[in-house]
Amino acid sequence: MFQTAVKFALLFVTTILLASCSGASMLRAILPAPSQEEIAAARISIAPYCEEKSGARVFRTAENVDGFVYRSSVNYGNGLQNPPTEEWGSGCSYWCLKNLLNGFSYVEAELQIAPTRRENRFDFVGAPAGFYRYEFAKRSGDNCARFDQMAKTNDALQSAIRSYPEILEDQCVVGRPISSFEAKYQFEGYRVVRERHSHGTYIQEYGNQIVDRTNGNVLANNSNLIVRNSKYGRTVLASCELNQNTDIAPIDVLVPRN
């Protein structure tokens, strides 16, 4: 009886401990750790990519741009030279407002609805899913109700309203439904696997880039690279040491018409 009671007590404690751990913490505890030799090899393999591709680079600029497409996440599973294998659009919120204040007439984005993702709560439309053109609109009826509701709890929106009263006192940002994207240029968060090895190690590049949608040419990008191995889950074996500002904003590359 005593041994049985002890077993139940241990089982109870173990259950509580497991329940209190996050999924990521539990996974790290279960997965093996990479060896120092593997980490050293990863640093060697990523070095040429870091020198060639990491950091911020502007290849060319474009003038008289009315607006652009915003894609928050694009996965190029078959390489950058091929169409994306996965795209995610969480709509647009303060980021769109910031770019409209920078002089762009509109930002186009897709709003996809997924219960497991939180971004939709911060979109200027909210629902239904679809393609939208986000732009300033004069206040009329309840067309600014969503914008005003978000501003009540969004510090960034509140700050923008205080800083630009001449623009936002009688205007707000609305999302107008469109059938498809029309802008020539696209700003996207992207990721692509640059190299895969048979033992599970791969080099992944990720960052932001501005693309000409008519021909696929990249105008500018900022990127970092990491080395992972599938047997170690999300653990990063090596990454580029970036000693420069790697931010790229649309206004750095696209010159608004106005």
Contact by Cβ (8 Å): 139, 170: yes
Residue range 11-35, pLDDT digits in tens: 443 444 444 444 445 445 577 788 8
Q: How far apart are the first and last CA of the chain?
A: 82
Contact by Cβ (8 Å): 188, 71: yes
Main-chain dihedrals φ then ψ at residue 205, nearest 5 degrees = -105, 140
Residue range 20-73, pLDDT digits in tens: 444 445 445 577 788 888 888 889 889 998 888 888 999 999 999 999 999 988
**Domain ranges (residues) in the chain:** 1-30, 31-60+184-256, 67-178
Interior angle at CA 88, CA 83 and CA 90, nearest 5: 145
**Residue 159, Cβ neighbours under 10 Å: how many?**
11
Characterise 189 by phi-psi region: left (phi > 0), alpha (psi -120 to 50), beta (else): beta
Contact by Cβ (8 Å): 228, 202: yes
pTM, entire model? 0.78
pLDDT computed for residue 123 by the predictor: 72
Residue range 91-101, pLDDT digits in tens: 888 889 999 99
Name the token pair of 16: 């509580």
Residue range 126-166, pLDDT digits in tens: 778 899 999 999 999 999 999 999 898 889 899 999 999 99
150 CB-near residues (< 8 Å, 6+ apart):
93, 122, 124, 157
Provide the percentage of residues in the chain whose pLDDT is more than 70.
Answer: 83
